[in-house]
Amino acid sequence: MGVSREYLIQRTLLLFAVVLGVVIIVFIITRIIPAHPELLWAGPHATLKQIEEARKELMLDKPIYVQLYYYLINFFKGNWGVSWRTHRPVFDDIINYLPATLELVTVAFIIAIVVGIPLGVLAAIKRGSWIDAVIRVLSVTGASVPVFWLAMIAQLIFSSKLGWLPGFKRVDEIVVLETGFRKITGFILLDSLIERNWAVFIDALKHIILPSLVLSVYPMGLSARMTRALMIEVLNEQHFRASIAWGIPKRTALFKYALKNVIAPVIASLGLSFGYTLVGAYLVELIFNWPGLGYYTAMALLSYDYPAIIGSITFVAIFYTVINMIVDIIHAAIDPRVKL
């Protein structure tokens, strides 16, 4: 593996700098927005005295730099604050909502890889044909169309009009209650398989198909375009032509040698798009009423829940940076030409 200790140290320091920068920027932005979050904390029937006590308890009566100082100290100690909306620790809320988002994004990426890479290979093989033209148009369109618009159109057509698939929530609560389903990991598809609860598994699968398909459109288009471009480059190289001339079957040379050189950079590009897809999941979750981290963040924004906003955005920044580092390490592990 071509990963040095210096690289790991640099990326760790970069992670710390990114987290610090994100926390400071988001903290300042949330504090300059004109709002009265102490009303949310004190409750709808609070007296003026209770509201004033809430301001003092939340340190809203102190200068912003003082608030930032104490928040940073608590943040790096692992105390991300208490949600002013749910009255629970923000970190606990994030861990509770995270599995739904990860399950949605994971299924979307599986669809993107299973469909996008073969489409890219097919477009490269059929270069210049109508098949290539159709795949290129679809991939560019998929990478360009706004995910929130596509989510609303898909929900309107396949759920509201045709009724083929559910358009809301993660699973039917009635099915959960009737079968006695219990969450283990928080990933409903995985938990239902562990418990062999096929009713919940089938229902959860129906619910996840539509939002995951919508979310997979961008990485699918990206993987198809990347695969096509890299495959064309490999197919034109002399070593590939020489392998065909030496009598190696074209199918074997294509999938055993050519595709092997393409997979590493495609995985790297998909890894970088994982963070973008995670952000796109926020909008998809809001439209499909999917109880994930995006839905939690949206509710926090609507209610001016500062600790929840800062915590969820910071968590995404940490997640995105770590994913990029892992992708670089995997790239270096499967491609001996890459040294880190």
Domains recognised in the chain with CATH numbers: 1-85+307-340 (no CATH), 91-302 (1.10.3720.10)
Distance, CA of 321 to CA of 309 (rounded, Å): 19
Give start and end residues of each alpha helix (H) in the chain. Answer: 5-32, 37-42, 48-57, 64-76, 90-125, 130-144, 147-154, 173-179, 188-195, 198-235, 238-245, 250-252, 259-287, 293-302, 306-334
Confidence of residue 267 (pLDDT cuts 50, 70, 90): confident
Residue where the block lists tokens 């994982």: 274
pLDDT confidence band for 2 (50 / 70 / 90): low
Share of the chain above pLDDT 70, in %: 81
Cα(31)–Cα(306) distance, integer angstroms: 8
pLDDT at 336: 56
Q: Say how many C-beta atoms besides its own lie within 10 A of residue 140's C-beta.
A: 13
Q: What is the pLDDT of residue 251?
A: 67
Q: What is the mean pLDDT of residues 161-165?
A: 84
Q: Are 147 and 217 in contact (CB under 8 A)?
A: yes
Is 89 strand, coil or helix? strand
CA 69/CA 111 separation, integer angstroms: 44
User: DSSP state, 158?
Assistant: I
DSSP 238-307: HHHHHHHHTT--HHHIIIIIIHHHHHHHHHHHHHHHHHHHHHHHHHHHHHTT--SHHHHHHHHHHTT-HH
pLDDT at 56: 74
* pLDDT tens per residue, range 118-153: 888 888 888 878 888 888 888 888 778 888 888 888
Say if residue 301's pLDDT is above 60: yes
Q: Answer yes or no: is pLDDT of 191 > 80.
A: yes
Identify the band that residue 258 occupies on the pLDDT scale cut at 50, 70 and 90.
Answer: low
d(CA 212, CA 101): 10
pLDDT band at 338 (very low <50, low <70, confident <90, very high): low
> 217, 201, 222: which is closest to 283 by C-alpha?
217
Q: For residue 309, what are the CA distances in angstroms to 15, 36, 202?
A: 19, 15, 34
Cα 89 to the center of its chain, rounded Å:
22
Average pLDDT over residues 155-180: 83
CA distance linking residue 289 with residue 168, whole number of Å:
5
How many residues are there in the chain? 340
Task: Give the list of residues 6+ apart from residue 137 with CB closer than 8 angstroms, or none.
Answer: none
CB-based contacts of 291: which residues, under 8 Å, 6+ apart? 97, 100, 169, 170, 285
pLDDT tens column, 214-247: 988 888 888 888 888 888 777 776 666 666 666 6
33 token code pair: 């927005």
pTM value > 0.85: no
Give the mean model confidence (pLDDT) for residues 81-88.
81
The residue type found at 18 is V
Check whether 42 has a pLDDT greater than 60: yes
Tell me the mean pLDDT in the region 104-109: 88
Cβ burial 299-320 (10 Å sphere, 16+ → b, else e): ebbebbbbbbbbbbbbbbbebb
- Predicted local distance difference test score (pLDDT) of residue 334: 60
Residue 145: in which H helix or E strand, if any?
Answer: none
Say how far apart CA 26 and CA 126 lie, in whole Å. 48
What is the percentage of the chain residues whose pLDDT exceeds 90? 0
